[in-house]
Amino acid sequence: MKANRHTFLFTETLWTAAGLYILADGRRVDCEGWTRIIHNADVWVNDGAMKLLLPEPVEFQNRYEFSPLTAGATVAEWRSINPGLGVLHGRFIIVEDSIISPWESEDGKWRGWEFILQTDAFRYLSRGCIMQGEVLAGSWVMELSRSE
């Protein structure tokens, strides 16, 4: 699969997500979310949220901004301002049918990884984790579905 066959990031659309979030103490919580991909002339945006379906739901928001990806591009640097974690810096790395995204907070307190595997043009599987220092703070297992 070539990088330009990806529909996530490369296509302006809305994606919905559903799956599990695993808390630091091992509890498994259903979660849902969405992300919208927006292509402007000078910047592309991945704007979204994930909601943990606890008795009192908790929502995480993130808005990634990065330079437009050209056909054949394999790496894009991104920046995000996350309300809970501060300024984040990371990369989208295209590897065949996958997108790998390592990241770290500007203050160095937080870091994480996300692995996104394309199963078809309308579906991706997402796996990721967040670390606070050397301690696992949470992880997730989600499925993204193209909704438009």
What is the per-residue pLDDT across 63-98, written as a single tens digit (0 to 9) for each? 999 999 887 889 999 999 888 899 999 999 999 999
Q: Is the pLDDT confidence value at 4 over 70?
A: no
Confidence at residue 2, expressed as pLDDT on a 0 to 100 scale: 44
Instruction: Name the more confident of 135 and 1.
Output: 135
Strand segments (E) across the chain: 13-23, 28-39, 44-52, 58-66, 75-82, 86-95, 98-105, 110-120, 123-132, 135-146
**Amino acid residing at 112:** G
pTM of the model: 0.92
Q: What is the mean pLDDT of residues 111-126?
A: 97
Q: What is the pLDDT of residue 73?
A: 86
What was the pLDDT predicted at 46?
Answer: 96
- Specify the pLDDT at position 3: 42
Q: What is the mean pLDDT of the chain?
A: 94
Read off the tokens for 123: 């579906």
When pLDDT is cut at 50, 70 and 90, the band that residue 1 belongs to is: very low
Q: Is the dihedral of CA 29, 124, 113, 36 positive or negative?
A: negative
pLDDT at res. 83: 87
Taking only the tens place, the pLDDT of each residue in 18-42 is: 999 999 999 999 999 999 999 999 9
56: Cβ–Cβ under 8 A, 6 or more apart, which residues?
none
Q: Residue 81 burial by CB count (10 A; 0-12/13-18/19+): exposed, middle or buried? A: middle
Reading phi first (left if > 0) and then psi (alpha if -120 to 50, else beta), residue 96 is in left
